[in-house]
Amino acid sequence: MQEHEVSAPPLAQQFAIVEDYYGPRIAWVFGNQNQGGVCPYRRAGLCHHCDIGDGEGREFTTPMNRNRLRWFMEHDRKLLPQLAHLVVYNSGSVLNPRELSPEVLLDICDQTDAMPDLRVLSLDTRESYLNKDRLSQLVNRLPKQVCVRPILGLESADDEIRDGRLEKRMPRSAICRGLDAVADAALQASSGDIGLDANVLIGGPGVAADRAAMDAVDTARWLLYQCGQRSLSLDLNLHPYYPSRRGLARFPSHPRCSWQHVQQSVRMIVDLEEFRNSRPGLFIGWQDE
């Protein structure tokens, strides 16, 4: 494919519109501009449950991602006027300038003019790229009513699971530094708003079946506490574990999370005092986002 050709995402990453806490939601997947088109953590052999970091088998450039943006604008043009929540992925960290050029991100912000009902722009990223100035720049580029929410793939607040079994290399100190940066940006925001989305994995590798719900609840509680301390608005994305290609190779006998554990987790999370006090959005994503 020529660099300047309009490029559609792979079929498996063309997500349908769904309804969430804010209204109609869609996810757009861009290409990764890091070496080989692969997430740097994936390149380093980390994050063992994730296939997404493998990218699309080619290194993207700024023009290629601009073409991808044109493709989405054309493909979803009938949906744009009703869209409330836009989620942006790039097989890695959207806020890492080496993985997605800042120009493309600003172009995405500018295209939200075609989305009059948009309330939330969520950006998938690692904790190390949570930067106050970067977030402030984005929120200032967006219409007033749009909230910028980085998505942090925490998965589990249990260090043994997150950094041990899954090898995410996401130490607690770095997460807290990232949360501080988002909270600082939120404090400074002159227009719009800034919050945080966080991913919680239910029943992932390293979690015994009888601990599946409890680990998710502990993780949600930790996030609610940390964001509460920083007066930071939090939404939770619950992801019941499914064996990805890499997950299957690394943890061949670890089963998919059962529906019963999903129900149990949701029931216990919405019953948390911290949840009832702050009433965050709650989204349950299967492998189809």
- Enumerate binding residues for ligand SF4 (CB under 6 A): 39, 41-42, 47, 50, 52-53, 92, 126, 153
Cβ contact 8:37 at 8 Å: no
Decide: 200 and 275 in contact? Cβ < 8 Å.
no
Give the residue with the Cβ less far from ligand SF4, 192 or 243. Answer: 243
Report, in Å, the least distance between residue 41 CB and ligand SF4. Answer: 4
The 8-class DSSP code of residue 18 comes to E
The minimum distance between CB 203 and ligand SF4, in angstroms, equals 17
Nearer to ligand SF4, 53 or 192 (CB): 53
Contacts of 173 (CB under 8 A, 6+ apart): none
- How many alpha carbons lie under 13 Å from residue 80 in its C-beta half-sphere? 18
Compare residues 129 and 222 and give the one whose CB is closer to ligand SF4: 129
Query: How far are the Cα atoms of 239, 243, 267, 275 from residue 261, in angstroms, in the given order?
Result: 11, 16, 10, 19
Instruction: Quote the least distance from Cβ 110 to ligand SF4, whole Å.
Output: 25
User: 83 and 26 in contact (C-beta within 8 Å)?
Assistant: yes
Residue 255 to residue 205: CA distance in whole angstroms: 9
What minimum distance in Å lies between the beta carbon of 17 and ligand SF4? 23
Q: How far is the CB of 48 from ligand SF4 (least distance, A)?
A: 9
In the bound state with ligand SF4, the residue whose beta carbon lies nearer, of 127 and 235, is 127
- The residue among 47 and 181 lying less far from ligand SF4, judged by its C-beta, is 47
